[in-house]
A = this chain, B = another copy of it.
Amino acid sequence: MARILVQDAAFDLAAETAAVTAGRVDVGGVASFLGVCRGDDGLAALVLEHYPGMTERAISRIAEQAEARWPLTACTIIHRTGRILPGEPIVLVLTASSHRAAALESCAFLIDWLKTGAPFWKREEFASGDHRWVAAKAEDDEAAARWTGAA
């Protein structure tokens, strides 16, 4: 059963990691990906919007796919919304398994799909006062699509 949170608040990587190993001896590996806000080109902040209800459902489905495909002992996805400053974390994907390949592959799968399959929209705010909505990237579609090919 995946742990899924969409929240404005920051999260605690150490606590999330400890939670998936605490009190059990069947976890051989914990893979994680922490997405961080870059400060390219004078970016002052990212503002992330989501679709309450649909976003959580979409993430739950992606997590169910991962749990069906790999033998995971835990799957945690936390995605922040609201205003995020350069250097701050945006998203955490954390997967645990008895086997390292399952943890590593499912973590990569989940972050690739989150980029293309979960309703979030990023707006960039610049020090100049300008702002713009981030455009979707073809490379993200390609990264997500490779999981549906032969593997």
Interface residues, chain A, with chain B CB atoms under 8 Å away? 12-14, 17, 21, 23-40, 43, 86-87, 98, 100-101, 103-104, 107-108, 111, 143
Contact = CB atoms under 8 A, between A and B. Distances in A.
Decide if the interface of chain A is mainly helix, strand, loop or mixed.
mixed
Q: How many copies of this chain?
A: 2
Nearest to A111: B100
Contact of A38 (B25, B34, B107, B108): B25
B24 A35 contact: no
A35 to B, nearest CB: 5
Nearest to A85: B25
Nearest to A31: B33
Contacts of A23: 87
Q: Which 10 A-B pairs have the closest CB atoms?
A: A25-B39, A14-B14, A25-B86, A30-B34, A104-B108, A28-B38, A32-B32, A27-B36, A25-B87, A31-B33
Given A13-B17, A28-B36, A100-B111, 6 more contacts: A25-B37, A25-B40, A25-B87, A26-B38, A29-B111, A31-B32
A107 B38 CA distance: 20
